[in-house]
Structure 1
Amino acid sequence: MTLQHLDDQIEAIRAEAGKQRNAYNDHRRFLQESPNLTPAGVEAELVPLEKSFRENMQALMAQETDLVAGAVRDLERRVYGTAGTSPDAVITFRDAQERAARLDTIEEARDAMSRAIRSKDTGLGQAILGRALEQGWRSVIDAYTQDNPQIAEAINDLATLTRFQRDDTQRLRASMIYL
């Protein structure tokens, strides 16, 4: 899945939310302006309408969240592969993850990535890449990408989606669309 395709799907979900919001507002206005309903009658009609609208918005927001999470999972599989099933592979994977998690600065990560690339330690390189994606350490991501050009697009897409998921402005924007 390309990011453009994902973006198109998100925009379609958000457009649907806009349509539902407009329909809700129109129906609400119609009820409030209806000469045939008392204030109690209007309220009785609005309660289930509002409940249904909130449920629909929550479902659309969940659909967007699931779509992005699924794209991240797919990209992670393309970038990282699997840890393996042998005891040695699992231990090596865990060790690399622990070592990468201890990297606190971009300088430490750059040095560790350079060593992993020089020694062709794929597992450690992938673990450091994961840490770099979490922290937004672009130069570390670029170092890995240069050594692995065959998956550069997937890595860059994963970096973009990781930033998107963590961006407070994007989360606020989505919340405003669906609330």
Structure 2
Amino acid sequence: MANSVGKNLFRCINRILSVPTVSRVQIKGMSGGATRKFFPHASTYTDRRFLRRAMFYASLTGVPSLVVITYVNVFYGEAELSEISEGYVPKHWEYYPHPISRFIARYLKASPQQEYEKQAHVMELEHAKSVARKQEREIKRQMRKRGDGDYKFIPIKNSLQVLSNND
């Protein structure tokens, strides 16, 4: 049923897109009394192959997903609120009412505490970069002020070595 609907839809789209124009019509003038017209059409092989594969992969992922979602909704349903014991601290995924949302929050997403720690780490790195930039600006300012440059420092062993090199 679905395959025949897809074929009919595809035929309609193909007819709309391949309306012959004057520049596309070729006249076949061979031996014979009447001139026959030849209407060239583009191949639909790649279009049909794409549509078949798209439908296959959509059903390959869609059907199991629908089965799992339906099973969870029918047999489990949403969580109900109930009293909790004294001193119990709920986990972060226990705040979600739906089982699928709970599964995603528990196993696939980071907890809010982990997200906070990651953001704090990024902020600490950015703070360290800004401190380093400020120090570099201050060093360059002091170098300009004192007339220093980028020179290499060569350690001297004793003062006699300086005197002997200058001669």
Same fold (TM over 0.5): no
Structure with the bigger percentage of helix: 1
Rg bigger for which structure? 2
Q: Which gives a bigger RCO, structure 1 or 2 (Cα 8 Å, sep 6+)?
A: 1
- TM-score interval (norm. to shorter): under 0.3
If the length of structure 2 is used for normalisation, what is the TM-score? Answer: 0.27
If the length of structure 1 is used for normalisation, what is the TM-score? Answer: 0.26
